[in-house]
């Protein structure tokens, strides 16, 4: 099952929330992303059918191995691109917002070059 940008964003959010909270629920995702509960519920159903997440009987969301791999890839892109853009003098809030737009579309080759540059100059 192909995952789209919105699915990547949900997985990244679940990863971030799981680092902050003991348990992640759909309401936590909705609050964090500023989306409606029905929109998040629909997305969670799609991600569950794609086997990117599991949801237990209490409504707690966990990333599967494949879901975690996607989430970590997107989160790495987000943090690396934010650092790269901020290093050019852009304020962190704008850098993070721009990184979020770029992280889903940038090629592996270009991202790898940016990551190497950031690591070399950090």
Cα(22)–Cα(63) distance, rounded to whole angstroms? 13
In this prediction, residue 1 carries a pLDDT of 67
pLDDT tens digits for range 61-110: 999 999 999 999 999 999 999 999 999 999 999 999 999 999 989 999 99
Provide the residue ranges of all domains of the chain, joining segments of one domain with +.
5-69, 75-121
Residue 33 and residue 24 in contact, taking contact as beta carbons nearer than 8 Å: no
Give, in degrees to the nearest 5, the angle at Cα 33 between 52 and 31: 105
In the predicted model, is pLDDT for residue 3 greater than 90? no
- CATH number for the domain running over 75-121: 1.10.60.10
pLDDT greater than 80 at residue 2: no
Q: Do domains 5-69 and 75-121 have the same CATH topology?
A: no
- Does domain 5-69 fall under CATH 3.30.565.10? My reply is no
The conformation of residue 23, written as its DSSP 8-state character, comes to S
Instruction: Quote helix, strand, coil % in the chain, to nearest 5.
Output: 70, 5, 25
Q: Identify the sign of the CA torsion 23, 39, 71, 103.
A: negative
């Amino acid at each position: 099952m192909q995952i789209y940008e919105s699915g990547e964003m949900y997985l990244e959010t679940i990863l971030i929330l799981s680092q902050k909270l003991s348990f992640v629920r759909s309401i936590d995702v909705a609050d964090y992303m500023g989306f409606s509960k029905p929109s998040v519920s629909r997305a969670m159903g799609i991600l569950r059918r794609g086997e990117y997440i599991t949801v237990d009987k209490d409504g707690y969301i966990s990333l599967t191995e494949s879901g975690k791999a996607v989430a970590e890839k997107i989160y790495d892109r987000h943090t690396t691109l934010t650092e790269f853009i901020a290093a050019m003098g852009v304020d962190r809030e704008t850098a993070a917002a721009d990184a979020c737009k770029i992280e889903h579309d940038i090629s592996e080759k270009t991202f790898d070059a940016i990551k190497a540059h950031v690591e070399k100059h950090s």
